[in-house]
Structure formats: C-alpha cells, structure tokens
Amino acid sequence: MHSFINSRLEFFPRLNAGHYPTPIEELPRLRAALGKRAPRLFIKRDDYTGAGLGGNKVRKLEYVLAQAQADGADVVISMGGEKSNHARVTAALCARLGLPCELVMNPPNVRYDGLKPANLVADELFGAKIHRVANRDERNTFSAELAARYMREGRRVALVPLGASIPLGALGFVRAIGETKAQLDAANIQITHIVHASSSGGTQAGIVAGCQLYGLSAQVVGMSPDDPSASIAAHVADIITDIGALLETTFDNRVIVRDEFVGAGYGIPTDESTNALALVARTEGILLDPVYTAKAMAGLIAMIGDGELTADDTVLFWHTGGQLALFYAPQ
C-alpha cells in the first residue's frame, strides 16, 4: 500500500528544498510542568524544514513551485500579511529557482512605529517585489488583477494562493505523514492525537488525508489562529476531497477545527498564548511563534487542563515554524 501511495506521489514534480525527516522530540519537562494528568508529549520539528528559515510552507511550496517551474512560469505572484511565513518561504525558494517573486501584502494587526517585521526584511533580502494593499480582502483582487495584467503583456504567471493551500501543496503534508509514521514506528511510539495550527487549511488537509493513506490512527485537531472553525473546517474538507481526486482515491473529510483560542484576532496574542510560548521556551528551550503555534499550544494546554487529554493519551504537537514573527528590525 505504501509503495503504491509513494509512486502516486512521485507522479508530481517536487523541489528538493527541505531537510527531511524533521526530528520528533519528546517534551518531558513541558509534560511535568502541566501536571500529573498530562499526556506524553512529542513535537514534530517542522520549524527545521530549512529552506528560507523553514516552517510548514516549505513542504507545500516544494510541490507548487515545482509545478510553476514545469509550466514555464517567468514570474511568481503570491500574498500574505507583512509577517507572512508563506511569503518569506515563497520569496526564498523563488530566489533559489531564479524566478522573480512579487508579494501582495497587507499591514499586520500588531505593528510598532519605526520597526519592520523580520519576515518582511527577509522577503526584501530574498529579492521579492512588494505590493502593498490596505487589508486582507484586497489581497486576492489585487493579485488577480496583477496576474491578468502580466498575462496580457505575454508573461507566464504562477499565481500561488494564500498559504499555497491548494491540493497540490497539501500533498507535501500527505508525504509528511509517511515520514512521521516511519519515525513513530521505528521508535515504537503510538500517538493518539496530532495538534497543530490550522488557517489556510493545506497543512491539516494533507495531515488528515495522509493519516488515512498511511494508516496513522490519530485524532487530528486543528487550532485556528484567526477564522471561525466552521469556515476553516469547510475549506480543509474541500482540499481533502481534491487531494483524493489528485491521488485517485477517496477520503473521509470530516475534520476537527477549534477556534476558542483565537482571542481578539489574527496576530494579536492572548494571555494564554503568551504564557504557552514562555512555558515551552523555559521548559524545553524551544521557541514557538506568537501568531500560530503559541495559540495552538495554548489550545493543547487547555485541552489538558479540561481533562480532554489525559495521561492515557500521547500527543504529537506539530511545530509549523514561524518564529521570525517574534522579531523586528529598525525601519
């Protein structure tokens, strides 16, 4: 079965940009800090995927940009907030491919006078051209207009949607589950849950489809850092169905997305996320990011506090990267 899935995956071109397998580490000191009833905790270090300072976007963009290259694209357009991790990795991989990259960006909810988000500094260093729009809603229209204009001028445009969360990109996470299953089997670890941040949906869709394909039976819990769970879950379910079409199979596309830990909004820390970030840093020497993974960790800690997760469980927390959002540079 696994060789059949692997050969279906091999059908799609893929860049060889990330460093795999990313490590799985145990978190014994975090567990001890969370009390006697806390489950055994592991972390999947996708903050170490490497390219462009890593994170979950590398796995998705390896497929999406390989396809852009195969299609003969001569410019890549994508979008995000000024602190976007997706934008940073897109810019880095485009630099590596020698492809011009243009990013349509809106200002972040949290900003400081005279300081520039480190992700934006990286985008510029990677040579991306930045187009600014006023808000999240304007990103799609502006990008589509820009793409249409370039195409009228005879250019071959690859328009990469938010977070590269299209079925092709999500294959990166199907593949990641093959990698993870092999690591867990080799270490004789049986997990009961995977917990991670879920927003544009590609990560969760790939994880859920991958678990079904590779026979990894764990409940997958996506934690929203922004939108209501119903809208993220619907989008994740659609991507799962479309991954099925790509791989010529069908999946159960029911998913769990929770939105109780968003707080005041995207990128705005909560007391719980700030505490979670500090706790993981102090107990395990691991930095989370303030926008996504700290809120996902706050959700995991709340599930332990509420007794939803107990010492009978074993949880794999998926670190999706993004730590650069902690840092700023002078403007």
Closest C-alpha among 253, 220, 174, 218 to residue 5: 174
Closer to ligand PLP at the Cβ: 40 or 319? 319
Write the DSSP symbol of residue 175: H
Stretch of residues binding ligand PLP (CB under 6 A), selected from 36-44, 147-155, 187-195, 289-297: 289-297
Q: How far apart are CA 252 and CA 208, in angstroms?
A: 9
- Decide: is 165 part of the binding site for ligand PLP (CB under 6 A): yes
Residue 52 and residue 94 in contact, taking contact as beta carbons nearer than 8 Å: no
Q: How far apart are CA 160 and CA 299, in angstroms?
A: 30
Stretch of residues binding ligand PLP (CB under 6 A), selected from 30-38, 62-70, 99-107, 287-295: 287-295
Closer to ligand PLP at the Cβ: 55 or 167? 55
Helices (H), the chain: 2-10, 28-33, 57-70, 85-97, 118-125, 136-152, 167-186, 202-214, 229-247, 271-284, 293-305
- Decide: is 199 part of the binding site for ligand PLP (CB under 6 A): yes
- Check 3, 7, 84, 229 and give the catalytic one: 84
Candidate residues 85, 90, 106, 229; the one interacting with ligand PLP per rule CB under 6 A: 85
Q: Tell me if residue 84 is catalytic.
A: yes
- Decide: is 168 part of the binding site for ligand PLP (CB under 6 A): no
Candidate residues 197, 207, 237, 315; the one interacting with ligand PLP per rule CB under 6 A: 197
- Decide: is 56 part of the binding site for ligand PLP (CB under 6 A): yes
- Decide: is 49 part of the binding site for ligand PLP (CB under 6 A): no
Q: How far apart are CA 259 and CA 281, in angstroms?
A: 24
Closest C-alpha among 137, 55, 69, 9 to residue 324: 55
Residues contributing to the site for ligand PLP (CB under 6 A): 55-56, 85-86, 163, 165, 197-204, 289, 292-293, 320-322
**Catalytic annotation, residues:** 84
